[in-house]
Structure 1
Amino acid sequence: MRNLLIALALLAATPAMAKTPTPAQIDAEVARQMAKTGAQGLAVAVIDGGKVRYVQAYGKRNAKGEPLTRGTVMYGASLTKAVFAYTVMQLVDEKLVDLDASITAYLKKPLPDYTGFGDNYAPYETLAGDERWRRITPRMLLTHSAGFANFYWDNPGEKLVIHFDPGSRYAYSGDGMILMQFVLEQGLGLKLGAEMQRRVFDRFGMANTSMMWRPDFAANLADGWDEDGKPQPHDERSRVRAAGSMDTTIDDMAKFAAGLVRGEGLSRASRAEMLKPSLPITTRSQFLTFQPELPPEKRRPDLAAGLGVVVFKGPQGPGFYKGGHDDITGNTMVCVEKRQACVVLLGNDVRAEKAYPALVAFILGETGAPWDWEYGFTPIARN
């Protein structure tokens, strides 16, 4: 009897699994939220049990009013970083990368001796005289803790600078991801675009995803709208950039999210390594990059950096997410581990982001994803 009472008490204390709404209910909620925000285009994918359950696109792909479809090519922005980290973890499985080895193990000469790479990577020669670069590891690069600004051009004189001891804190950095790309390409002799094509896009059948612009994308391409509601053209990216050059579709990103939440393509150990809390996050919000750290009692113990993603603990247990943003783009991927469930949202209107907390909660239930940290604003109410 006592055991039965304990079991009933535990059941009562456990949040009920959210019931996935019907497609019609999702469509209605998306329409309501788009009307609230003024967003012109939005695409949604729902994964549950590791399978793609629903994919739909809404609104316009350009100022001509042409429809946004499931096959419309949209800018992936920093969702690229999660796909890149997944690629790196395959290399970890193959013993080509050790997450905790110094990058000196891969480079043929000291990092500051690589000159003239600023156009493709960063001006590594500006690190001369700061030997802390030798302490940087792949884990630090993938957890945004190498000490860099988001991009070197944010620094005075557009120099690459190590702002704090590598590994000591989280500070979002695209240049960290790009240095990891440099290590793979210049140190290991790999071509990142080809590796991601083979290891990710081909694996999951992501036929309309690429790390560089493809001319065939033009037939069904999303332009975007900025915060003021002004249409802006899609940027045709001509270089592979681990920090965020990926073009994709909602159909393709649904396939990736489902594969990642299932653990396909990685060993169990490498997937766990990617999605475990590797580094506490100690700031009030994600940006500005170098804001002061909070005192320990005000930090969120449920929030940490994984590899290429942010991990959290919420009412449904552990989860992870990654966002992607520029002036005309707002993307997010939120996944709940226990259910192997995700929502992927691609917006070609940056104003759509204000609806994402409500939409994710409507579809998945309350996840605990730290929206105030990610966006720095109070989300729109669901009702």
Structure 2
Amino acid sequence: MRLFAVLLAVLAPVTALAAAPPAPPPMADAAAVEAEMARLMRATGAQAWAVAVVDQGKVVQLHAAGKRNAAGDPLTTDTVMYGASLTKMAFAYMVMQLVDEGVLDLDRPIGAYLERPLPDYPAEKQYAPWPDLKDDPRWQRLTARMLLSHRSGFANFAFLEPDGKLRLHFDPGTRYAYSGEGLILLQFVLERGLGLEVGAEMQRRVFDRFGMTRTSMTWRADFAGNLADGWTQDGRTEPHDERSRVRAAGSMDTTIADMARFAAGYVRGEGLSAKARAALVRAQWPITTASQFPTLQDALAPAKRRRDLAAGLGVVVFQGPQGRGFYKGGHDDAVGNTLVCVAWRQRCVVVLGNDVRAEAAFPALVRFVLGETGVPWTWEYGGKAFVE
């Protein structure tokens, strides 16, 4: 009996971990989602947004509402919109295919893939000013896993530094601090170290795989016929930026239909081994800050940290009332996007907003479609006020 009791005590936590989370609430039907979109547009003043719903790894709803430009042309499900930092999630998915093939090792120092030390490479417009690191040997510790989980030690971008110089603010791998520059460094390693063209690899391994026919890492002339401009917080319109350079941190143009296909394929793990798929959405490192931005801020005291929040590879992972989930946001002055998935039942909501004011409605809309998920909205957006 004593042995049985010991075994029961040991196995109980395993059983609890294996148990399925509570059954998710039924998802709203298409008509209800469109009505809620309209209500939230009125509440925020947003001019337009597009929404996709994925259930059990399949696209089940596509919606677009409002205007794609100041002329009043309608936003449609195949309107090209700026993907912003959702690019990072797609890039990480491509990188894990290279890991599966043995082309890249997540934990091998990046210097092993380069012909010469990183600071010896000249500064190029496409990349960060690597020569700025010449007096700091800590760059040699950097690995692909650190870069994809935002543990490089860089600021978000070097051009945001007061003097515009690239520097390491902490020992690589020791803490989370969001950095697009880290993704740019991994792009540099793939292109200069391994001889790959990231734009071509993204096209072949991600966009073509999922049938994303109106998605690209750079501007395409055929996008011009159905293209979204943006609206800023104060209601000004901004023209769509025709990006000519591949940037792993955020150059992707896409549509809601294409991002729905990506989300469905991603949550199914298509094109990846089970090990690689699990690594993407596994907690790689705890997140200990009060908000995502500013990127370089002090850690909270342990008692105030969210223990359910961690960095994955290209995504943020969390634990909520429906079990494990993950998400990625993306925005600039005139764009607000989010992609939220609940792992169990492979359910996702994708939102592309060509009006940054739509962000204030993201929590309400995601909750309306998926139920309460536990997405860390306050951490993602800091002190932003949300509408209900």
Alignment of structure 1 residues 137-286 onto 2, 5 Å: 137-286=143-292
Equivalent residue, structure 2, for 1:18 = 25
Q: Partners in 1 of 2:353 and 2:113 — Cα distance?
A: 38
**C-alpha distance in structure 1 between counterparts of 2:180 and 2:257, whole Å:** 26
In 2, the alpha carbon distance for the partners of 1:261 and 1:350 equals: 26
Q: What are the Cα deviations for residues 41-71 of structure 1, in whole angstroms up to 9, with x where unaligned? A: 1000000000000001000000000000001
How far apart, in 2, do the equivalents of 1:282 and 1:134 lie? 25
- The answer as to whether partners of 1:170 and 1:279 remain within 8 angstroms in 2 is yes
Quick one: distance in 1 between partners of 2:306 and 2:68? 38
Task: Give the number of equivalent residue pairs.
Answer: 371
CA distance in 2, matches of 1:84, 1:241: 10
Partner amino acid, structure 1, of 2:265 = G
- The amino acid that maps onto 2:337 is N
Matched with 1:371 is 377
Structure 2: distance between partners of 1:332 and 1:377:
17
Q: Contact 2:309 / 2:316 at 8 angstroms: preserved in 1?
A: yes
Describe the SS at the equivalent of 1:335.
Answer: strand
Give secondary structure in 2 for the equivalent of 1:157: coil
Question: What CA deviation, in whole Å up to 9, does each residue of 1:17-36 have, x standing for no partner?
Answer: 11011111000000000000
Deviation at 1:156, TM superposition (A): 2.9
Q: Distance in 2 between matches of 1:114 and 1:21?
A: 53
Structure 1 residues 378 and 245 mapped into 2: Cα distance closer, same or farther (>3 Å)?
closer
Distance, in Å, in 1 between the alignment partners of 2:368 and 2:91 is 29
CA 1:311/1:14 → structure 2, altered by over 3 Å: closer, same or farther? Answer: closer
Report the residue type matching 1:36 in the other structure: A
The Cα of 1:379 is off from its aligned counterpart by 5.1
Aligned match of 1:74: 81
Give deviations 1:1-32, integer Å, cap 9, x for gaps: xxxxxxxxx9xx96441101111100000000
| Structure 1 residues not aligned, in runs of 5+ | 1-9
Q: Contact (CA 8 Å) 1:335, 1:341: kept in 2 or not?
A: yes
Task: Report SS of the residue matched to 1:322.
Answer: strand
State the identity as a percent: 66
Separation (CA, whole Å) in 1 of partners of 2:384 and 2:167: 33
Deviations 1:102-134 (A, max 9, x none): 0011011000000132x1101000100100000
Residues 14 and 194 (structure 1 numbering): CA distance in 2 closer, same or farther, change over 3 Å?
Answer: closer
The 3-state SS of whatever aligns with 1:332 is strand
Contact 1:74 1:247 in 2 (8 A): yes
Deviations 1:327-347 (A, max 9, x none): 000000000000100000000
Cα distance in 2, alignment partners of residues 286 and 381 from structure 1:
20
Aligned to 2:9: none
2:121 matched to 1:105? no
- Counterpart of 2:60 in structure 1 is 53
Q: What amino acid is the match of 2:266? A: L
Counterpart amino acid of residue 279 in structure 1? W
CA spacing shift, 1:132–1:71, aligned 2, 3 Å: same
1:301 equivalent among 299, 307, 310: 307
Q: CA-to-partner distance for each residue in 1:69-116, whole Å, 9 max, x for gaps?
A: 001000000000000000000000000111111001101100000013
Please state how far the C-alpha of 1:381 moved relative to its aligned partner.
Answer: 4.5
Alignment of 1:26-37 (within 5 A): 26-37=33-44
Q: Contact conserved, 2:44 with 2:387, CA < 8 A, in 1? A: no
Do the aligned residues in 2 keep the contact of 1:371 with 1:379 (CA within 8 Å)? no
- Residues 337-382 of structure 1, C-alpha deviations (whole Å, 9 max, x = no match): 0010000000000000000000000000000000000011365343
Change (3 A) 1:288 1:258: same
Residue number among 37, 45, 53 corresponding to 1:38 in the alignment: 45
Q: For residue 180 of structure 1, what is the amino acid of its counterpart?
A: L
In the TM superposition, what is the alpha-carbon distance from 1:296 to its structure 2 partner? Answer: 1.1
* 1:340 aligns to 2:346 (yes or no): yes
In 2, are the aligned partners of 1:357 and 1:379 still within 8 Å (CA)? no
Matched, 1:125 2:165: no
Partner of 1:158, secondary structure, is coil
Q: TM-score normalized by structure 2?
A: 0.94
Q: TM-score, normalising length from structure 1? A: 0.95
Are the equivalent residues in 2 in contact too, given 1:358–1:379 (CA < 8 A)?
no
